[in-house]
Structure 1
């Protein structure tokens, strides 16, 4: 076995039988043995640091090359030597530096030897992920992430420094530490999808929480908590939720409350729909990793072959058509925003637009009285106040990442997709104009008459006289 071929466990068992061997391993034992063997094999070929240094090229416009190779040799334990191979092109690097944010995610099982591949890029206003480079690393450490962030911040191919406003990644502590050291002012965003998956797939089982009953309820409570727009609201609501879980008769839920409080409220809480900030998940970047595995590296490759395959993938990314960069508004969205205009009141205060929800039971007096109480700094908000706020008011704020764009904390807006509240505020701020609403409504009404599934009015059947 050289490490790159597939092993058929059934064929191995049959070979044992043909050889007269009666004590047979199971298919799982064979697969586990092969997997362990592959992890202990050498990289393949004559790879060494001199070879990699010789592979470093001047950056090209749209064809990705190895543009930087860094390493730090551990003299006492050479097996723990850190190294990193950065692959990108000038067009992608410039695209990344023109953004105010970044996304990063690591993937495995691409390269023989188990070396992780870091993919980085950014999300456009339509939530399309644009990969802008990859790095093959010895392992996920603070040092290897620092090298990448330092390269993005300042390198020999670009003028000046790139300082992002925020970065989205999973909950890895090495990413958090590296970002803090290289970009002290960056807002480190934690991917909410990673949090939910880890809790649902791992932690509920660990604490003996039934996924279908208590687990589903807890997940929904976490998602509701994630829709808060202000840090102080999140802190108040989070403390109330932790207290609720700790009052449970289920010991597993009590233990889970301690875990969640420690990891996602005290240590790294920036996974909620914070005012003005971008997407909260890295699913698009993970989708890029699946794209690599499906179309470019569908089995583990030796390092040099993997580099060639990743360069081809980046070339495709550089030439991919991501569609219209602007957000187009659908007819039903215009109508929903226009209907909202007639039933709500918008109040602007402190750079934020407060919009009464269309389903709120408050009248205008209740709404204004609450906001007056809310904005009085002498009043200390409690969990009940925050709950009332979430139930009756949405918050719209200018995006810190995109020009003339806004964010909202309603369930749709929290996903950073178009919502009626944002559309209404864009009209108020003269970034958009109302279309011809009577004509638009007529279009909807006319279309509805012939929409699929509508019963037809049949003419009377012909009959002989």
Structure 2
């Protein structure tokens, strides 16, 4: 799926003639690369039926950009879920020239529309988002999948934020203890256990 400048969502047909696939398209780039406004330059989402099926058997969505995966100097957004043994199962990936709310709205809509197109369903009632603290991601997640969903910060981002604040503790011996306590919190199996454990640290 891809979106053009007219904000219309396009979906490629299931099959394309091999000769059509090999055609080259020439065009003139009319985009002002120095113009840093809110107009998106491009965005596309790539998936398959097998990948989208992962969305039907999970209730967690991981949505973030990993800058270790780059396409034409643009970060790729890897969207997917994790299982009980922490293995990642992608729904697909997107490349956008920006990282703004319209980009994430497009990504989440692609997932919903793709599932609908394939007559597949996901459990939206228990759906939870796992991402960093970027409001663009969480705002559009709630917009597309509606409100009353849990939003969880990725543990790696929490750990990095705590590490940046360790300088506030003058006693360096406390640094290891603090990080050990934070890591122990992650082992909480449910929200109730987490909240009880948090009381010991407050």
Provide TM-score, normalisation by structure 1: 0.32
Could you tell me which runs of 5 or more consecutive residues in structure 1 were left unpaired when the two chains were aligned. Answer: 1-48, 66-72, 243-465
Q: Over residues 72-108 of structure 1, what are the superposed CA-to-partner deviations in whole Å (9 max), with x where a residue is unaligned?
A: x9xxx66431342111122212233343333233122
Q: Over residues 346-392 of structure 1, what are the superposed CA-to-partner deviations in whole Å (9 max), with x where a residue is unaligned?
A: xxxxxxxxxxxxxxxxxxxxxxxxxxxxxxxxxxxxxxxxxxxxxxx
1:147 maps to which residue?
106
1:111 paired to 2:74: no
Matches for 1:375-386 after TM superposition, within 5 Å: none
Q: Over residues 258-283 of structure 1, what are the superposed CA-to-partner deviations in whole Å (9 max), with x where a residue is unaligned?
A: xxxxxxxxxxxxxxxxxxxxxxxxxx
> In the alignment, is the contact (CA less than 8 A) between 1:106 and 1:116 conserved in 2?
yes
CA distance, structure 2, for counterparts of residue 237 and residue 128 of structure 1: 26
Q: Which has the higher helix share?
A: 1
1:58 maps to which residue?
13
Partner SS for 1:107: strand
CA distance, structure 1, for counterparts of residue 98 and residue 170 of structure 2: 33
1:181 maps to which residue?
143
CA distance, structure 1, for counterparts of residue 200 and residue 77 of structure 2: 37
CA distance, structure 2, for counterparts of residue 177 and residue 167 of structure 1: 11
1:353 maps to which residue?
none
Structure 1 residues 230 and 126: alpha-carbon distance in aligned structure 2, compared to 1, 3 A threshold = closer
> In the alignment, is the contact (CA less than 8 A) between 2:53 and 2:120 conserved in 1?
no
For this pair of structures, how many residues does the alignment match? 173
TM-aligned CA deviation for residue 133 of structure 1 = 0.9
1:196 paired to 2:155: no
Partner SS for 1:139: coil
Q: Over residues 33-52 of structure 1, what are the superposed CA-to-partner deviations in whole Å (9 max), with x where a residue is unaligned?
A: xxxxxxxxxxxxxxxx58xx
Q: Over residues 228-249 of structure 1, what are the superposed CA-to-partner deviations in whole Å (9 max), with x where a residue is unaligned?
A: 456466446535524xxxxxxx
Matches for 1:57-136 after TM superposition, within 5 Å: 57-59=12-14, 79-82=37-40, 83-108=42-67, 110-112=70-72, 114-136=73-95
> In the alignment, is the contact (CA less than 8 A) between 1:120 and 1:134 conserved in 2?
yes
1:158 paired to 2:98: no
Structure 1 residues 59 and 193: alpha-carbon distance in aligned structure 2, compared to 1, 3 A threshold = farther
Q: Over residues 409-457 of structure 1, what are the superposed CA-to-partner deviations in whole Å (9 max), with x where a residue is unaligned?
A: xxxxxxxxxxxxxxxxxxxxxxxxxxxxxxxxxxxxxxxxxxxxxxxxx
RMSD, aligned α-carbons: 3.4
CA distance, structure 1, for counterparts of residue 162 and residue 136 of structure 2: 20
TM-aligned CA deviation for residue 135 of structure 1 = 0.3
CA distance, structure 2, for counterparts of residue 216 and residue 236 of structure 1: 22
Q: Which has the higher strand share?
A: 2
> In the alignment, is the contact (CA less than 8 A) between 1:165 and 1:185 conserved in 2?
no
* Structure possessing the higher relative contact order (Cα contacts under 8 Å, 6 or more residues apart): 2
Partner SS for 2:77: strand
Q: Over residues 169-188 of structure 1, what are the superposed CA-to-partner deviations in whole Å (9 max), with x where a residue is unaligned?
A: 23323222222222224332
> In the alignment, is the contact (CA less than 8 A) between 1:95 and 1:132 conserved in 2?
yes
Structure 1 residues 231 and 123: alpha-carbon distance in aligned structure 2, compared to 1, 3 A threshold = closer
> In the alignment, is the contact (CA less than 8 A) between 1:154 and 1:161 conserved in 2?
no
The structure having more radius of gyration, on CA atoms, is 1
> In the alignment, is the contact (CA less than 8 A) between 1:209 and 1:215 conserved in 2?
no
